[in-house]
Structures are given as C-alpha cells and as structure tokens.
C-alpha cells in the first residue's frame, strides 16, 4: 500500500473517451472530439454552443468528464443546412477541437465504449515492491465497483439533499435527477461495503443475480454450481447489487437476505421509500470492476504513473482507492 498525492496539476489526471463508433461522414450533425483543461463538460458545451451559434439543446454528449483534469470527449452540434464554423475560433488554453466530422444523428448519452485514464501520483511513499505487487493484484482480481465521490456532490451532501427532497422540499428537474442518482448510489455502496466486509464481493453467493461482462445483460438467480463459480472466476460474469426502486429484489436465498439487511442506518428506509415513490425501478449493477490494460511506470523515485481503461459508468477513484491513501490536491 502507498500514500501519494494526485492532481497537483490538471495534467496529472488525463481521461480519454474510447469511441463506440466511427463518424458517418455526412449528416446534419457535426461530431467533435474536444480536449478541455480545467473546466467542466457543461462549460465546454456552453462554449461550443456559443461558437456554433446554437442553443445548448443542440449539443449532444456521451458522458461528463472531470473538471480538474485534461480530458478528451465527443460532442455533437446540430447544424442543419449550415457550414461548419472555423475550429480555430474556439481554441484556448481551456478548450480546443481535435477533430470534426459530419454525422447523421445527435450523440446520445452513454454512446462510448469506455474511458482511458492516465493518473500521475506524486510524493509516493511506500515500498516499491509492495506497491507493484498490489498493482498486479488489482489488475488480476479487479476492485469493488463503488460509485465515486463525484456521484455525491461537490460538498458530499447530495444524499442529505435527497432525503430533504423525499421529505417534501421542492427542487428543479435537473437537480431531482442528480439527487435520485445519489440516493440509489448510496444504497448500492452500502450493499457492496457489506459484501467487501464479508469477503464475497467478487464471488458468487447463493441466490445471486449476474451480469454478463462487457454488457448490461442480467440473468439469474440460478443454482450455485461449479459452472457459475468458474464463470465468475474467469470474469465472464459478475455478481450484481441492487439499484433501488419499485418492485421486488430479483435475488433470493443468501443474496436476498444480505441485500435486504445491508443498507442499514436510520435513513435507509427513507431512501428506499423515496426512490420507490419517485417511480424508480429495480435495476442491477456489477459489484466488481476490472481495470483493463493496466500498466505503470516510475517517472521518478517518488512519482508513479498508472494507466488503465474502464467501462462506462465506473470510476477511476475506485481503482486508485485500492492502492492506498491518495489525496486529491484539487478537492
């Protein structure tokens, strides 16, 4: 295990979207690959809309990226019957266009194959051999698929705000969506924390529901046998946890008992009831996250660069947390 600092500069944390498709080459939309530095995706979209002379609703994006980082991502701009604006007119230290191609449709949310991360850790303390052994374990076994702190708001109070909303406080539509996501994420994290404590977050329990690796296809529960255990061990399938909402939990036996009991605390019932009243439906999320193409290099005696790829909807902080105590200089 180690201790270290990251994001001393935005360049210490780089994120590149992995494209899910190629541009069609023609159509009413301009598909952009942008690079931003030190600004939010929302700010980048506002600047692109102003540059193109369109409403922000004409901008499409596959996902949001960190502010305190250097990131590359795709945006689309609806420009029916119009020539593409000059890309150089948008260039600044904070934002520039890397590529622009025509495409036949607006970029939808989630239309990416994953994200590629390159994280520089500074002031690294710890035994180098032990650190590299830990990296090998993370590469081989994966990590608990927690929702990261970004999910819970800049001040970490989104769950408290969700409880206030469930108690009657009125919120805007966009805020409501964020608070519902935070509430579901909190309950999922509590179930996952229980399985981490019990030592079975990356193994099959009797009554588990599974997700096919690399997809959102869910099946089960099925009788726990050697075939299921082998598929879990080889990362063909992953055990899942609940994303809370209306309807019965899909698990049974030991997994059902754990998911019913694990979200403890005086607020657990309020979170569950609030999500059900809000109309959210029961869904599932993989309990395990595997960082692919994980590799590292020592830039200096106390500076370590770690690179890896993750599927959409997962958090680099979940991987970094398994390496030790890493402080974020930007938070």
Active site residues: 66
Interacting residues of 20 by C-beta distance below 8 A, sequence separation 6+: 62, 111, 112, 113
Local structure of residue 38 (DSSP, 8 states)? S
Overall residue count recorded for the chain in this entry? 331
* Structure token pair of residue 185: 């994420």
Would strands 70-78 and 13-19 be described as parallel, antiparallel, or unpaired? parallel
CA–CA gap between residue 119 and residue 6 (Å, rounded): 7
CA distance 183 to 42: 23
- The dihedrals phi and psi of 80, each to the nearest 5 degrees, come to -65, 125
Using the structure block, give the residue that is written with the tokens 């769950």: 159
Question: What token pair was written down for 312?
Answer: 């959409």
What span, in angstroms and rounded, lies between the C-alpha atoms of 233 and 231? 5
31-62 core/surface letters (b: 16 or more CB in 10 A; e: else): bbbbbbbbbebeebbebbbebbebeeebbbbb
Nearest alpha-carbon partner for 309 in 322, 323, 295, 291: 291
Q: Is 134 exposed, middle or buried (0-12, 13-18, 19+ CB in 10 A)?
A: middle
Alpha carbon 325 to chain centroid, angstroms: 20
What does the alpha-carbon distance between residue 318 and residue 322 come to, in Å, rounded to a whole number?
7
CA dihedral 37, 147, 197, 160 (to 10 degrees): 110
């Amino acid at each position: 295990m180690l201790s270290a600092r990251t994001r001393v500069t935005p360049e210490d944390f780089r994120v590149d979207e992995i494209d899910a498709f190629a541009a069609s080459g023609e159509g009413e939309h301009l598909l952009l690959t942008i690079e931003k530095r030190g600004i939010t995706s929302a700010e980048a979209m506002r600047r692109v809309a102003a540059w193109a002379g369109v409403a922000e609703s004409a901008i499409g994006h596959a996902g949001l990226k960190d502010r305190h980082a250097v990131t590359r991502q795709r945006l689309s701009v609806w420009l029916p019957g119009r020539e593409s604006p000059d890309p150089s007119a948008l260039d600044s230290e904070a934002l520039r266009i890397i590529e622009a191609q025509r495409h036949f449709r607006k970029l939808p949310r989630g239309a990416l194959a994953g994200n590629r991360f390159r994280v520089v850790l500074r002031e690294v303390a710890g035994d180098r051999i032990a650190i590299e052994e830990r990296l090998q374990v993370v590469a081989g076994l994966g990590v608990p698929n927690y929702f990261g702190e970004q999910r819970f708001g800049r001040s970490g109070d989104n769950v408290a705000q969700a409880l206030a909303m469930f108690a009657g406080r009125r919120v805007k539509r966009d805020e409501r969506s964020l608070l519902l996501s935070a509430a579901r994420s909190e309950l999922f994290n509590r179930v996952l924390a229980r399985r981490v404590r019990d030592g079975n977050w990356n193994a099959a329990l009797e009554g588990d529901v599974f997700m096919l690796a690399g997809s959102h296809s869910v099946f089960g529960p099925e009788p726990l046998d050697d075939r299921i255990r082998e598929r879990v061990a080889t990362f063909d399938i992953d055990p899942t946890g609940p994303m809370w909402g209306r309807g019965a939990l899909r698990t049974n036996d030991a997994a059902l008992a754990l998911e019913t009991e694990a979200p403890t605390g005086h607020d657990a019932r309020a979170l569950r009831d609030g999500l059900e009243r809000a109309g959210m439906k029961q869904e599932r999320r993989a309990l395990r996250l595997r960082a692919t193409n994980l590799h590292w290099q020592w830039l200096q005696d106390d500076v370590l660069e770690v690179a890896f790829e993750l599927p959409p909807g997962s958090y680099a902080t979940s991987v970094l947390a398994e390496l030790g105590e890493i402080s974020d200089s930007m938070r």
